[in-house]
Each structure stands twice: as C-alpha cells, then as structure tokens.
Structure 1
Amino acid sequence: MRHLTKCVAVLAAALSTTLLAACVPAAGFFGDGGRTVHVYSVAAPSQNKRLEDAFNASHPDITLEITRGASDLVPKVDAEIATGADGADIFIMSGDSWFLRNKDNLAPVTADAAKTYPDWGVDGHAPIVSYSPFSMILWNTDAFPDGFETWDDLLAPEVKNRLGVRDTMSAVLASYLQYLQDKNGPNYLPELAEQNPKFYPSLIPMAQAVASGEIGVAYTASPAVVHDLESRGAPIDSVLIKDGWASPFIAGILKKSPRQDDAQIVMDYLLSPAGQEVFNGSGDAGSPIEGLDGTIDTTQMRVLSEKDTPPEVIAEWAVRLREIFNRG
C-alpha cells in the first residue's frame, strides 16, 4: 500500500508540474519569456546600436533587440498585424504615412515621458523620435579632393558619369525631389539628369558606392550613415545644407504585441532627454527636444509630411522621374 501511495504521489506531482507549465504564458516565437522587447527600425545602424546598448545598460531586467531594415520592414510588419504573429513590439519608420494608416493597430503611448513630449506623427500614438537630414552632398575625397559646397556644384562638367541619385519612388523621394526643384528652380533636375547619373534604391548602398569609388558623389546622404563610413576609414567628406530637408523617424507600439508593459518602458526611455541624446547624438540627427548635446539643429529644414505628399503627388513624381531621367 505504501508503494501504491508513493506512485500516486509521484503521478500527482508530475501532473501538477505539467498543468503549471501549461498555465505559463508562451514566450512567443522568440522564446524570451516576455522580457525582451523587439524593435524593427529603419534608423541608421549607429543609432540603433547606441539605443540598444544604453537601454540594456540602464534596464538590466529587460533586453532590447533591434532589427534593422528599410522599406522591406513594412510588408513584414503588415503581415504580422494581419496574422497576429509575434515579432515586432515597436516599429520605427520614416515618414508619417504608415502610422496614419495604421492608427487602429497602434497602442496609445502611456509612458511618463509622453506627457510632455513635443512632436507627434499621430497624436498620443506615434511620436517623432528623430529628424534625419537627407540634404547632404557626399563625395569621395580621392575622386574630388576639392569637394562641394552648393547644389550647383553638382552640375560641373567633371561630375558627369560620376554622380549617384535615387530612383525607387516613395513619399521620401517625391518630397526630396520637390525640395530640390523648389530650392534650385525648374531646370535643376533636367540639368542633373544630363550628368548621366547612376541610380540606387536607397541611401546606404549609394553612400557605400561613394566610399568604394564606384561613383564620385551623391546628391543625398544622412549624417548617421556618413559617420558610420568615416569611422571605418572611408575616403569621404560631406556638406550638410542647413536650410535643407529632413525625414521624421516615427515610432509606434504595435497593439498586437504581447509585451505591452515592457514596450512602454522602452518608449519612455526613447522619449526621455537621455534617450533622445543617445539616439540622435554624435551629430547623427535632430531631436524634437531642442538643445540636446550632439544633436543637429533641423528647425530650418523642410520636413516630410503626408499632407505634402499624398498618393497622387507620389504617382506624379514617379512619372516625372522616369521622364526627366529617361528611365523608360
């Protein structure tokens, strides 16, 4: 009888353990038990790395992991929202278009820092966390040791066949082309096209092409990307046009995230002066919180907004880009 009683006790304990395990929430696809916050971000690698390192050092109970991408992140996040799949808790994307379309898929930002935060893409749901200037001229110092100072310098004869431009149409590119035209006149883009430029889908491969000498100069770049290449010894230099153009980088907590509390903690840090200085410092970008050390003053720059680049404007610029640059 004692043996039977012992067996029953063992079985009861095993069953209890099994039931207890079944009551513990699943960790999701990442197997992190809910204490890792996953961010998908289009920000520059240096910005993401500083944010990741600083947050993890100051919040030892939560791990921040940032996955960097570009426009490829949009369908990925859209698919996760549609299926309810685990993945991103926070999405950082350039421009306000995606966030305005997806307000219903965003959780309200209730973090303490949000109460006094100055700039929002979607009020209460999607704060602007960075202003990234794209109005930079970037050049290879071996190819052009004397460098460039103004947009007109890109029309010099020696630039022919050595210029890089973008050709993947988006709200960002449509707004940037409109800025260049407004700044330099209606003939500027056709004259730029006469330089027989090489085309690139986005900033990073174009900047890398300048660094490698594949092309000599690019008509757009971002400080964070430039600084990253300079830190690796690339023979490059750049000039930032002060009354230029900047893209807002906006962050939102996805409503489908199973880690809402921890995501709010990450957002609270990102919106704080300390988090903003980490993310945008070292001369990488501008912050909505003015006067922070190491941030760029973008107050005089034109900022991308959906109201200025609705779908019909983007479609119009797609046609004009093909016509001006003879892209078929």
Structure 2
Amino acid sequence: MTDGVQYSPRELDRDATIYVAGHRGLVGSAITRRLEAAGFGAIVGRTSAELDLRNRDEVFAFFAETKPRHVVLAAAKVGGILANSTYPVDFLSDNLRIQLNVLDAARVHDVERLLFLGSSCIYPKFAAQPIVEDALLTGHLEPTNDAYAIAKIAGILHVQAVRRQYGLPWISAMPTNLYGPNDNFSPNGSHVLPALIRRYHEAAATKAPSVTNWGTGTPRREFLHVDDLADACLHLLEHYDGPQQLNVGTGTDVTIHEIAVAIAAAVGYTGETHWDTTKPDGTPQKLLDVSALARAGWTSKITLQEGIERTVSWYREHIASLRQ
C-alpha cells in the first residue's frame, strides 16, 4: 500500500507540545508515563469533565488554544462483551464523534505526527490465525462488538485518507487485549482479565467455595501489558511511517481457562472454578501477527505472569478508588 507521503521518522522534539487524548484511561495514562520517562516536557491532557471530545466546538477550541505538534488519540468508549452487546449505539456514536472531532481538529491545526489507536476487534471473527494486517475488511465481524469495531475501522480509514489528501504522516496501531494499571475493574464494564482479577480477589477475600466465569473457557486470547503498548507507541512515532495499521501484541495466546488459573494463583484463591456455558464466548481465537511490528524494530518485554502479578498488586493498592 502506498499513499505518496514522504516522511522520514525521527526522534520527536522533547520540548514540543504533545496531546494525549484519554490521558486518564488505561492506555492514555500508560502513554503519558512513558512520555514523561522519555523526557517530554509539554504533555497536554484533559479529563472528560474538562473537555468533552464528543463536542466538536470544544475540541476545535482546545486545539486552537494548545496548538499541539503531536497527538496520540487514545480516548475511546470501551468495554467488554456485556457492555458492547448492551449499548452498541453508544459505542458506535461516541467513538465516531470522538474520532471525527479530534482528527478533523488535528488536521485543521496542522498536527505533524498523530497516532490513532484502535483495537484488534477490527478484524473478521473468523480471520486466519495469527491475524495479519491485510485481513482488515475481508469478512464478518464478531457481532458482540461490531459497532465498536466499525467505529475503529472508520478511524483507520480516516487516517489513511488524511495521508492521501493532505500528505500528513499520521499512523495507526491496533493493540491486542490490554491490561494493567488504571484498567476498568467494574463488574459490568470491564474486559475479561481485569474482571477475573476482581472476581477472584473478592472470592479469596470472602473465602467463597467457588467462582463462576462466563463461557466455556476455551477461547484463546492474546494479552499485552499496557506499559509495553506505551513503549511500542513511542517507538512507532519515532521509527515507523506508513498508511497501513500496525498490529501491536506479543504474538502468543492462551485460553481464558489458563488466564483464570493464573489469576487465581496470583490472588491466592484455592476454591473451585465453574463455567457458565450459557453465556457467550465471543471470538474463538484472536491472535495478532506481529511480524510487521518486529520489522519496525519493536517486540514485547513484559511476560504474562509478570504482568498479571503487577496488575494484581496495583489493584490491591488502589481498590478503594477504583471505578465501580
């Protein structure tokens, strides 16, 4: 794929203003930490109370005031199977508006480098495994999160269109399943790994004899610690340019059952685990091909066991202030 953009990736100016949209969330907070560690001195962020990214006038006024040179678009309405299945309109409408407003404002104000972050759910439900970037738009989506996926696909195409029409060296990255500090551990809005951490922690604390998880436990998932993703994002901003979205993951997967066993061990739960097979499993397998990412010079560093242990520790330290 070619789009005629002529740009040589290079180290970003540490004094330039860089806006991290969604800086308080799981992804945005990790990226902010990574940028701070790398010496960036002008990182800009706004909470949703300070700036509603769904409001076009507010977003354009913010860009006119702050004039960021670089942008990382990590803001999104996110959730697990239950939330996506229950509120598809919200996931489609909110994410489309966030993307359109931020991307349009960034273009009008000549943002030099922009990284749009999507999700591996953009790929077809039954894509060949591991999933290569060219699998995009080649089959039907997983119906439990198709509205969210369509919004993210629109974001990828928006970035590609900006490259073609305006010649700006913007890029997109599609992370696999993420977890880590500042995740959503709420019972009804979380993804599988943080949901399991909370469930097993509470079971251990109450000495519950058993835990019941959704589905069969057989689907295979790939998990990436969010600090690894943040490191990959900075690397891509400084070393990659191209119109095609890049997969970001570990290149390995495990079953949900294996994740449950690992989390139970990490929190010290010794009771039984049951599986409610009347609940949906979602996609049977979702493993990303990360060979393009490797060619761009980056591979993951945090092992799944280490990442789970770190996340459990963070959860226990912050349990009183978590989203409910």
TM-score (structure 1 length as normaliser): 0.30
TM-score (structure 2 length as normaliser): 0.30
User: Which of structures 1 and 2 has the larger relative contact order (alpha carbons within 8 angstroms, sep 6+)?
Assistant: 1
Please identify the structure whose Cα radius of gyration is greater: 1
